[in-house]
Chain A
């Protein structure tokens, strides 16, 4: 049972927009800790996709965007491409656990 809750799966056709939610609590996202997102392509290590709720590292396409409100955060992907098919994880910090916490991951399928 992950501390941050994500939908197990989402899907969309090429060119469409999808969103992935990440729900936390008052000891992590709701406490003001930033949310970061990682993309894990099949059989590879995770890669930082969004940091500080809504910022993209250099090289990440602007099709990827993030937002945060209250105890939740969201990752949006527009103009879906086949290469976006991957697992996506949100991550934050939890003050009750004094440590880093991840979501359960969301598998994105491009139809």
Chain B
């Protein structure tokens, strides 16, 4: 059974750095083709892809947020960490961790965490 769970501070102040951890089980991020990414969803709004890291440490970032984002992995701990600098109230959203495990050759997310609501407020 594959599960993913997000953790981290749920309330951050403007200008602070957000650090979110995705802890997963049921698959390995050292398996060829596997990737773990982050997607966010502001309240009442659409999904927005942020970043993704592959099994081979290839990292991809949303161009509009690239300068603020860093994604890393710890394969031994089954964790992926996302940091986002200079947080602003507009960054208030539910942040999802999601994985691409199956469906080789497709750029999709077949497993999702439950999401964590991050509020940016002073």
Q: Which A residues fall within an 8 A CB radius of B?
A: 2, 33-34, 36, 38, 44-48, 51-52, 57, 89, 91-93, 97-105
Contacts and interface: CB of A to CB of B under 8 A. Distances in A.
B68 to A, nearest CB: 15
A87 B33 CA distance: 29
- By secondary structure, the B interface counts as loop
Interface residues of B, number: 23
A35 to B, nearest CB: 10
A99 B61 contact: yes
B109 interface: yes
Contacts of A45: 96, 112-115
Count chain A CB atoms within 10 A of each CB in B39, B47, B62 and give the residue with the most.
B47
B52 interface: yes
A21 to B, nearest CB: 15
Given A34-B107, A46-B112, A57-B110, A100 B49 contact: yes
B108 A36 contact: yes
Contacts of B98: 46
A52 B107 contact: no
Contacts of A91: 47, 108-109
B46 A102 contact: yes
B27 interface: no
A100 B37 contact: yes
A104 B46 contact: yes
Interface string B30-58: 00000001010000001111001000000
7 contacts: A38-B109, A45-B96, A45-B115, A57-B110, A99-B62, A100-B52, A104-B46
